[in-house]
Structure 1
Amino acid sequence: MLATVLGKAVLLAGLLSVVGAGPALAVINGEVSRDRDGLRASVVRIESTRGEICSGTLIGPDLVLTAAHCVMHRAGYSVVAVDRNFRQQRILAIAASMHPDFVPGTTPEDQPGIDLALIKLERPLGADFQPLDPRGSAIATGEAVDIAGFGVVAENRRGTAGTLRSAQLVSIGSLEVANRVTMVTDRRRLAETTGSGACLGDSGGPILRGGRGGYQVVGVVSWSSGAMRQNARARTACGGFTAVTPTGEHAGWIAARSAELARIQPGDVMPAGRGNRSDWMAKPGRR
């Protein structure tokens, strides 16, 4: 059956206009993360002054890995992290660097470049938080992975965003649309009908290998599409296929750009280095 669904995934580009696709703007059918030592220590929420929400992963005390389309707009951005007592901490984002191949202004599913970005925080997060290693190797077809994010539980339930949820998915292989992504889906439904997957607010969140105390980031959520069989009157872009940018293929850029961003301080000039011409730094005092 996995091979059958993989074959269907190859046809996804033609199906997008039928089943619907869009940015993974919650992990639907996911479990709420309530473990003090679990994913709340590593997965964060990204909010903009435009009212947009994404997810991201700490890869350093003051560095967050996310999707480039989450930070491509000229806006103010902040990161919300949850401490061991499940209290929220809001930290200003002072800079963001998108992969040099990313093309701002495109939709995620039409993106010809690499949908990855790094956010530099105003200050480091403390001992309550645990950065993860983003240099995970390729996701094998058939491999079980976890998804985590702060999005909604259904497209029509916007008020459910802001709670960290996770679910286990399975990789069904790579797909070439405008760029190359890895497709993951509910391991029981296999995108035939709506199951677990990304939804609004999960863009930029991690795809993870391992478990508590040993998680490794192997991908970043870029976009999602609905299941192949849906009610025509209630179409959704969630709970079918989740498109993932694999981090292992871009580990060199992540490491090099992280090192460059780690050296900057509020008020500095953005280092040219290995960034994108649309990279930005917040103006002093901007919240």
Structure 2
Amino acid sequence: MRALPILALVVSPLVANPAWAVLQGVPSRDPDGLRRSVVSIESSTGELCSGVVIGVDVVLTAAHCMTDRAAYRVTALNRAFKPQRFNVTALAAHPTFVPGTTPRTQPGIDLAVVKLDRPLGVDFLPLDPRQAGRIDVGDQVTIAGFGVLSEKARSTARTLRHTRLVSLGPVQVANRVQIVADGSKLAETTGAGACRGDSGGPILAESSDGYQLYGITSWSSGALRTRTRSACGGLTAVTPLADHLGWIASSMRSLDAANGVWTGGQPPSSSRR
């Protein structure tokens, strides 16, 4: 594979932003598929991210999605793909996360666990982070999220889409992330990948038994060879979960014990959308 030249260019001045939809992704229409485990997260300021269900009332996402002084709402899709809305009552951001930085310059771990105001229900399937595997170079992965089809097509957000990418390996930028990209483009020209709205969405391995959770989307970049500056369609940076399972488990316990107390990041405002 041509992974090494691409990874060497990750640290060059590419346009890179929070991964805000799955570029060139296909809508998820299987009622027993990804809609059971992937949700959207929207703030009262209008910012959109994605997340993955890891408990009956717990969602894992990117910490940078939860830094605004705002109220947050999670939207999940039932079997008929009708939105079911839940308020976020508490969160725990990874203790190394540094607010005020961009995801690409973030020196800490871009992960947050959020607690919902009530259980999601039997219609939804939590993915167990304790089974998180490690992504090797060349592994095929699936990304999913609720973002846009292109940066200029904001009206295409809030539809669950997914696509297949290939792992190019780990890289140290400000923190250590796993890089995935379109297997046919390898980020040299615009291809499939994360875009606006996908931050916090899951990176998954697909099998006949379902999906295994690998990591969380943090940021994305444009293609290496393009005349148009973009933050979509090139490299997708993933926070792998295998090294953070202890923190995720302890945070879930803490949020249960907090019983609705805001435990990390900015406190929610009293307003609700």
- The TM-score with structure 1 as length reference comes to 0.91
Higher mean alpha-carbon deviation, 131-140 vs 84-93, is at: 131-140
Q: Is the 8 A contact 2:220 2:236 kept in 1?
A: yes
The Cα of 1:7 is off from its aligned counterpart by: 2.8
Counterpart residue number, 1:275: none
Encode CA deviations 1:51-82: one digit per residue, 9 max, x unaligned.
10000000001000000000011100000000
Q: Is the 8 A contact 1:26 1:152 kept in 2?
A: yes
Asked if 1:245 is matched to 2:239, the reply is yes
Give the letter for the 2:114 counterpart: I
Q: Is the 8 A contact 2:44 2:272 kept in 1?
A: no
Secondary structure class of the residue paired with 1:207:
strand
Counterpart residue number, 2:3: 5
Counterpart residue number, 2:91: 96
Take 2:208 and 2:62, find their aligned partners in 1: how far apart are those partners? 24
The Cα of 1:108 is off from its aligned counterpart by: 0.4
Encode CA deviations 1:252-275: one digit per residue, 9 max, x unaligned.
101111111123323xx446xxxx
**Unmatched 5+ residue regions in structure 1?**
272-277
The Cα of 1:154 is off from its aligned counterpart by: 0.3
Take 1:283 and 1:195, find their aligned partners in 2: how far apart are those partners? 39
Secondary structure class of the residue paired with 1:145:
strand
The Cα of 1:285 is off from its aligned counterpart by: 7.2
Encode CA deviations 1:113-141: one digit per residue, 9 max, x unaligned.
00000110000111100000123122111
Encode CA deviations 1:135-186: one digit per residue, 9 max, x unaligned.
3122111100000000000000000000000000000001111000000000
* Matched length: 272
The Cα of 1:10 is off from its aligned counterpart by: 2.4
Take 1:6 and 1:214, find their aligned partners in 2: how far apart are those partners? 31
Asked if 1:82 is matched to 2:77, the reply is yes
Encode CA deviations 1:178-224: one digit per residue, 9 max, x unaligned.
00000000011111110000000000000001246421110100000
Asked if 1:69 is matched to 2:55, the reply is no
Higher mean alpha-carbon deviation, 257-266 vs 73-82, is at: 257-266
Give the superposed CA RMSD.
1.5
How is 1:107-118 mapped onto 2 (pairs within 5 angstroms)? 107-118=102-113
Asked if 1:279 is matched to 2:259, the reply is no
Give the letter for the 2:210 counterpart: G
Higher mean alpha-carbon deviation, 194-203 vs 250-259, is at: 250-259
Counterpart residue number, 1:225: 221
2:249 to 237, 252, 255: 255
**Unmatched 5+ residue regions in structure 2?**
none
Secondary structure class of the residue paired with 2:236:
strand
How is 1:1-287 mapped onto 2 (pairs within 5 angstroms)? 2=1, 4-16=2-14, 20-135=15-130, 136-211=132-207, 213-230=209-226, 232=227, 234-266=228-260, 269-270=261-262, 278-280=264-266, 282=268, 286=272
